[in-house]
């Protein structure tokens, strides 16, 4: 059994308060008022995010894609908005980052809805395209994943770090200079293409900002144990590539792995 699953089987919740229906309703209404405050604050932050000034992308980035080389402008696929997941997958890596894979697992289900809201979503990594394709096929993903290998795209958008920066022990990440354990980092960047074809960088987020793509976390936040990460060495220690989990309780073994891989 997966260690992360076995840790959920304690009796930590056995001492939780149990009250009458009227007391439960009163507590729930009090929490609802707080939830509404957060919702209004999130709406305000979204308005402020949209109001941020843009920066023109003047550099010509070229990406290796399954349909041939394409510029950043060529990745919009006829839409005016482009959302990029910066996926930690460097040249020569055996496989992509498991936490970035957790993020990417959410894309295919959202893609059709986002496309109908004028948003193209794709994934960019610094690994060569052949390495990306091999891993994408293993994971069974359908979304577009392109390679920035040989370009400055990852460095310019703060998700890849030079050997010199790593040697100094601090790299420019999440709008600060700080230690980081690897030469690749996660992030999300957003771009807009004008009617005349100009491309603008409108937003990027890093660190916990990438939880915007993690719908699984949003659901875990609703259940009694929550994310259950307090005793972990780091917050996403429990996450596995989706084809590397042991069968979860109540899951038939044949259906436990999405693509039949052990």
Are the CB atoms for 126 and 161 separated by under 8 Å?
no
Measured distance CA(214)–CA(105) in Å, rounded: 9
36-69 pLDDT, tens digit per residue, is: 999 999 999 999 999 999 999 999 999 999 999 9
The CA angle 228-19-15, to the nearest 5 degrees, is 40
Query: Looking at the predicted structure, is the pLDDT value of residue 94 above 50?
Result: yes
Q: What is the secondary structure of 45-85 as a DSSP string?
A: HHHHHHTSPPEE--S--EEEETTEEEESGGGSTT-SEEEEE
Query: Looking at the predicted structure, is the pLDDT value of residue 11 above 60?
Result: no
Q: Which residues contact 73 (CB under 8 A, 6 or more apart)?
A: 193, 197, 199
pTM for this prediction: 0.89
Q: What average pLDDT does the segment 182-203 reach? A: 97
Return the CATH architecture of domain 55-213.
3-Layer(aba) Sandwich (3.40)
| Cα 160 → chain centroid | 16
pLDDT of residue 237: 94
Query: Looking at the predicted structure, is the pLDDT value of residue 9 above 90?
Result: no
Q: Which residues contact 203 (CB under 8 A, 6 or more apart)?
A: 49, 52, 189, 190
In the chain, domain spans: 20-51, 55-213
CB burial readout 3-27, b (16+ within 10 A) else e: ebeeeeeeeeeeeeeeeeeeeeeee
133-188 pLDDT, tens digit per residue, is: 999 999 999 999 999 999 999 999 999 999 999 999 999 999 999 999 999 999 99
Measured distance CA(128)–CA(136) in Å, rounded: 12
End-to-end CA distance of the chain: 13
| Percentage of the chain exceeding pLDDT 90 | 85
Measured distance CA(43)–CA(101) in Å, rounded: 28
* Among 175, 177, 181, 237, residue whose Cα is nearest residue 209: 175
Are the CB atoms for 115 and 79 separated by under 8 Å?
yes
Q: Which residues contact 237 (CB under 8 A, 6 or more apart)?
A: 4, 229
Measured distance CA(101)–CA(106) in Å, rounded: 9
CB burial readout 64-77, b (16+ within 10 A) else e: bbeeeebebebbbe
Are the CB atoms for 186 and 159 separated by under 8 Å?
yes
């Amino acid at each position: 059994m997966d260690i992360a699953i076995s840790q959920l089987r304690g009796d930590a919740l056995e001492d939780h308060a149990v009250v009458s229906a009227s007391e439960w309703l009163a507590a729930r209404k009090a929490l609802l008022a707080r939830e509404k405050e957060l919702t209004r604050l999130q709406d305000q932050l979204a308005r402020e995010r949209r109001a941020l000034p843009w920066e023109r992308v003047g550099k010509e980035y070229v990406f290796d894609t399954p349909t041939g080389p394409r510029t950043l402008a060529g990745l919009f696929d006829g839409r005016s908005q482009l959302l990029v997941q910066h996926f930690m997958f460097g040249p020569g890596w055996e496989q992509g980052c498991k936490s970035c894979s957790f993020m990417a697992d959410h894309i295919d289900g959202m893609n059709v809805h986002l496309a109908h809201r004028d948003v193209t979503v794709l994934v960019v990594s610094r690994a060569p395209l052949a390495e990306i394709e091999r891993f994408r096929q293993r994971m069974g993903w359908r979304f577009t994943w392109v390679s920035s290998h040989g370009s400055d795209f990852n460095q310019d958008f703060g998700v890849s770090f030079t050997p010199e920066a790593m040697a100094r022990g601090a790299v420019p990440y999440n709008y600060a200079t700080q230690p980081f354990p690897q030469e690749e980092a996660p992030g999300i960047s957003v771009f807009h293409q004008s009617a005349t074809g100009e491309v603008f960088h409108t937003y990027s987020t890093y660190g916990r900002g990438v939880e915007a793509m993690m719908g699984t976390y949003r659901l875990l936040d609703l259940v009694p144990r929550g994310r259950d990460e307090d005793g972990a060495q780091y917050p996403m220690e429990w996450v596995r590539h989706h084809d590397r989990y042991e069968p979860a309780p109540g899951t038939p073994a044949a259906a436990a792995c999405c693509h039949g891989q052990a």
